[in-house]
């Protein structure tokens, strides 16, 4: 009982100590709130009432009176940019830069944020000018990355190469893969304008930068074909196997057409069959199937598809199998078989996609640079269903 009595007597003591602590916290909160400029609450009220332009004006007045609130401007500008209200974000950062008494560190920060606003708005000329002024500042690495993005958007590949090299030399990581792709873009432009020799010069630089660049080997073949040298083109396309066997599917049709052009189609079929045995691919099977059908007939084509379906059971393969069976089916069963084929084909169209390893963006065609996230070489050369079966 004595212990319980003392315990009961202690309750008021602890209650009093808690009350004193709460009063101290409340007084401190009241003191801090009174120290805030009145314009802060005015601007906050405008924001809550969805009047952002008036809120900006109110916060600008705060900064004029109290330089300590500069961070509030940065937070406000970033908020507008994330919400897609780019004009308001630009206005916030431009007003900061207009202040003659703005500290140098805050001025550089404001320039960087303004450059981000211009980039988000698609005002690439203004963004480029802004970031060029920041390459020697503490935001140098970020500015160079932004410039690299700008040059890629504008397809200024020479300047993109220079920007990537500058980033690499600054210690921001290796950029050989991107630089090689920029040379391939330049080569592609030369081929479009029927300048195969100029394209070959660019592709030599691409391979000197990145020996594993598959695209360069493919384009070298295209350049030789444009020069009329089909044998040299075939040799170039066959080098893809040495770099990446799965990527052979991307050059299979070129190889088959080339061997037909030089009068050795059976050699082409045998080569592609060998590639198919090494790396199963629905795209490669498509090319081989058509060639076998042309050269060896329906039975051989059917056997090819049947063997491949057993080795790699996919709906894409089943679609091709049904196509082969439809060719030799008796007339009385063709309507039913055709119906099944159409149903399977309709579903496989959703599976016949390439998928970016970086962002997951799916596309019907193969891309060297992902349209979704702009990463280079992020697409595997196989369709999504094939990858799922392999995994």
| Residue stretches of the annotated binding site for Fe cation | 356, 359, 370, 373
As to burial, measured by CB atoms within 10 angstroms (0-12 exposed, 13-18 middle, 19+ buried), residue 225 is buried
CA–CA distance, 244 with 43 (Å, rounded to integer): 60
b/e map 32-51, b = 16+ CB within 10 Å: eeeeebebbebbeebbeeee
**Is the CB of residue 213 less than 8 Å from the CB of residue 240?**
no
Contacts of 345 (CB under 8 A, 6+ apart): 319
Binding residues: 356, 359, 370, 373
**Is the CB of residue 316 less than 8 Å from the CB of residue 386?**
yes
Crossing angle (nearest 10°) for helices 157-169 and 140-153: 160
Q: Which tokens sit at 385?
A: 């269903």
Residue with tokens 């350049």: 223
CA–CA distance, 88 with 315 (Å, rounded to integer): 51
CA–CA distance, 309 with 305 (Å, rounded to integer): 6
CA–CA distance, 231 with 304 (Å, rounded to integer): 28
CA–CA distance, 14 with 103 (Å, rounded to integer): 49
CA–CA distance, 219 with 190 (Å, rounded to integer): 11
């Amino acid at each position: 009982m004595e212990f319980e009595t003392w315990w009961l007597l202690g309750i008021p003591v602890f209650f009093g100590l808690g009350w004193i602590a709460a009063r101290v916290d409340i007084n401190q909160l009241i003191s801090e709130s009174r120290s805030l400029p009145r314009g802060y609450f005015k601007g906050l009220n405008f924001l809550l009432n969805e009047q952002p332009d008036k809120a900006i004006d109110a916060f600008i007045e705060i900064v004029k009176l109290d330089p300590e609130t500069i961070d509030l401007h940065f937070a406000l500008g970033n908020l507008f940019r994330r919400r897609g209200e780019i004009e308001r974000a630009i206005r916030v950062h431009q007003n900061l830069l207009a202040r003659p008494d703005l500290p140098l560190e805050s001025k550089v920060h404001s320039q960087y944020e303004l450059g981000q606003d211009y980039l988000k708005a698609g005002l690439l000329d203004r963004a480029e000018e802004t970031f060029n002024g920041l390459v020697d500042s503490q935001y140098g690495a970020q500015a160079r990355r932004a410039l690299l993005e700008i040059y890629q958007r504008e397809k200024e590949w020479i300047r993109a190469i220079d920007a990537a090299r500058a980033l690499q030399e600054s210690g921001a990581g290796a950029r050989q893969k991107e630089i090689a792709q920029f040379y391939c873009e330049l080569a592609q432009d030369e081929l479009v304008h029927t300048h195969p020799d100029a394209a070959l010069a660019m592709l030599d630089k691409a391979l000197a930068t990145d020996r594993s660049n598959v695209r360069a080997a493919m384009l070298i073949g295209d350049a030789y074909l444009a020069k009329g040298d089909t044998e040299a083109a075939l040799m170039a396309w066959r080098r893809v196997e040495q770099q990446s066997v799965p990527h052979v599917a991307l050059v299979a049709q070129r190889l088959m057409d080339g061997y037909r052009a030089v009068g050795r189609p059976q050699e082409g079929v045998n080569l592609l069959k060998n590639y198919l045995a090494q790396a199963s691919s629905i795209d490669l099977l498509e090319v081989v199937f058509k060639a076998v059908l042309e050269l060896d007939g329906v039975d051989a084509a059917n056997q090819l598809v049947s063997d491949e379906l057993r080795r790699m059971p996919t709906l894409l393969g089943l679609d091709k199998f049904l196509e082969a069976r439809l060719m030799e089916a008796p007339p009385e069963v063709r309507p039913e078989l055709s119906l099944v084929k159409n149903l399977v084909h309709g579903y496989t169209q959703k599976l016949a996609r390439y998928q970016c390893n970086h962002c997951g963006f799916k596309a019907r065609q193969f891309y060297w640079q992902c349209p979704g996230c702009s990463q280079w070489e992020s697409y595997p050369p196989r369709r999504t269903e094939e990858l799922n079966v392999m995994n």
